[in-house]
Amino acid sequence: MKKKEDTFTFYPDNNNKFRWRRTASNGRKVGGATQGYSNKSDCMDNAVRNGYDESKHITVYEW
């Protein structure tokens, strides 16, 4: 049986800044951006520095 991977969700916050959050396969939030980013690429770069790998994680875009 294949292990379920964490989900990274990328979304705009209430100030129209870009953020991400990491949710474990059990539904618990286990990480996220501590600040909003003005552009999507900076947000994605921050997620990568915090363990995001598009080939290993489920990705959800809400922007």
State the DSSP string of 4-59.
Answer: PPPEEEEEE-TTS-EEEEEE-TTS-EEEE-SS-BSSHHHHHHHHHHTT--TTTSEE
The pLDDT tens digits for 11-50 are 999 999 999 999 999 999 999 999 999 999 999 999 999 9
Domain boundaries, the chain: 7-61
The pLDDT assigned to 2 comes to 61
CB atoms within 10 A of CB 10: 19
Q: Does domain 7-61 have CATH number 3.40.50.10420?
A: no
